[in-house]
């Protein structure tokens, strides 16, 4: 019995010792991981990162959006002052842009580097790709660049966790994708009129990209369903007796006017462009459909007046099915071509 108790106590001590050792090792690993949470900058490097606080006021007509974000930087050389020369490269309205420093002077970090951060608030310009409107992904870009030091003098590099979004950030009418940030060298093929400059000046540029998209099904219901309803309504022309030509024309004209009003409303937020967006093509198909039904209904009405009303009714029934089938097929082809 004593031997059994001795063995039990020994086993419990071994288990307790193992748990203590595992806890100690876990603390050491956690401490080492927390001590290295950021990238250590080299001599002429500036480590950068960004935090997106808010996005609002996306305006497709002016290719602009409002954003609120934080940008931080760390560097080793006290002679460098990147915070004094970094600038926004794509402001929409410079007078409305604010850059608020979080500290008056750079703050020294435990690894010897210097830390500085800005909060940028204001409108930014970003050229949107609208060919797939009302679908498609829009890229909201924010670009920063050093206006004084070339890439050979200062090189921006990304932090270990360089960009993130506020977890509560939302945009009404849009889904926000995963943001990215990258740094690349930009060549300016000009001297800017400076005799001391060369034509191969290269600067380090930071680009923050935030993808946003319209929710697909909600947008499809709001935009495509009304078009389909008007088209189906216009196809009912063939259900009106051929002799009632005035009623047929009235229904077709009403459908055309409805489509014109819907197109004007749906595309009013877009800038004047030299190309057709996907929604333009869908409306053009709808216009052609209504005009085709009007022409066909007039032809069958005249046939009925000439005495062949039964033949006119048969043609109307076939025309309704064929026209709707062609319209739906062409609409599906347009959606496939633009959204593939």
The fourth-level CATH superfamily of domain 217-339 is Neurotransmitter-gated ion-channel transmembrane domain (1.20.58.390)
Distance, in Å, from the CA atom of 124 to the CA atom of 140, rounded to the nearest integer, reads 8
Distance, in Å, from the CA atom of 84 to the CA atom of 102, rounded to the nearest integer, reads 13
Proportion of the chain above pLDDT 90, given as a percent: 52
pLDDT for position 197: 66
Q: What is the DSSP string of 113-144?
A: -EEEEEEEEEEEE-----TTTTSSEEEEEEEE
CATH class label, 45-214? mainly beta
3-state SS class at 296: helix
Mean pLDDT calculated for residue range 178-207: 81
Distance, in Å, from the CA atom of 328 to the CA atom of 183, rounded to the nearest integer, reads 46
Q: How confident is residue 10, by pLDDT bands cut at 50, 70 and 90?
A: low
Distance, in Å, from the CA atom of 29 to the CA atom of 293, rounded to the nearest integer, reads 75
Instruction: Please report, for the chain, the start and end positions of each structural domain, with discontinuous segments joined by +.
Output: 45-214, 217-339
- Per residue in 279-316, pLDDT (tens digit) is 999 999 999 999 999 999 989 988 888 888 888 888 98
DSSP annotation of 179 reads -
Q: Compute the half-sphere exposure of residue 221: CA atoms within 13 Å on the CB side of its CA.
A: 3
- Per residue in 14-65, pLDDT (tens digit) is 544 443 444 433 333 333 433 345 666 667 889 999 999 999 889 999 999 9
Distance, in Å, from the CA atom of 189 to the CA atom of 267, rounded to the nearest integer, reads 39
Which residues share a beta bridge with 207? 143, 182
Q: How confident is residue 70, by pLDDT bands cut at 50, 70 and 90?
A: very high
- Residues composing the chain: 340
């Amino acid at each position: 019995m004593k031997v059994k108790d001795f063995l039990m106590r020994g086993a419990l001590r071994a288990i307790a010792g193992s748990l203590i050792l595992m806890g100690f090792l876990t603390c050491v690993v956690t401490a080492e991981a927390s001590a290295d949470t950021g990238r250590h900058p080299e001599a002429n490097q500036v480590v950068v990162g960004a935090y997106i606080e808010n996005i609002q006021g996306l305006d497709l007509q002016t290719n602009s959006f409002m954003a609120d974000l934080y940008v931080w930087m760390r560097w080793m050389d006290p002679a460098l002052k990147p915070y004094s020369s970094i600038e926004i490269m794509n402001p929409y309205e410079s007078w409305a842009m604010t850059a608020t420093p979080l500290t008056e002077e750079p703050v020294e970090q435990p690894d010897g580097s210097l830390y500085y951060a800005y909060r940028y608030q204001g409108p930014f310009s970003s050229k949107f790709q609208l060919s797939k409107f009302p679908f498609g992904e829009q890229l909201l870009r924010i670009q920063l660049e050093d206006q004084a030091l070339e890439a050979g003098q200062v090189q921006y590099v990304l932090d270990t966790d360089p960009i993130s979004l506020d977890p509560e950030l939302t945009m009404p009418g849009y889904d926000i994708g995963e943001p990215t940030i990258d740094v690349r060298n930009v060549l300016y093929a000009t001297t800017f009129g400076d005799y001391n400059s060369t034509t191969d000046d290269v600067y380090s540029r930071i680009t923050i990209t935030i993808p946003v998209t319209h929710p697909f099904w909600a947008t499809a219901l709001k935009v495509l369903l009304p078009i389909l309803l008007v088209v189906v309504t216009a196809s009912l022309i063939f259900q009106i007796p051929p002799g009632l030509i005035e009623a047929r024309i009235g229904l077709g004209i009403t459908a055309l006017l409805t489509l014109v009003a819907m197109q004007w409303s749906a595309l009013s937020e877009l800038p004047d462009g030299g190309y057709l967006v996907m929604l333009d093509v869908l409306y053009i198909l709808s216009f052609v459909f209504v005009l085709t039904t009007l022409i066909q209904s007039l032809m069958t009405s005249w046939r009925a007046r000439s005495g062949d009303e039964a033949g006119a009714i048969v043609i109307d029934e076939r025309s309704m099915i064929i026209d709707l089938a062609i319209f739906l097929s062409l609409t599906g082809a347009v959606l496939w071509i633009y959204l593939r």
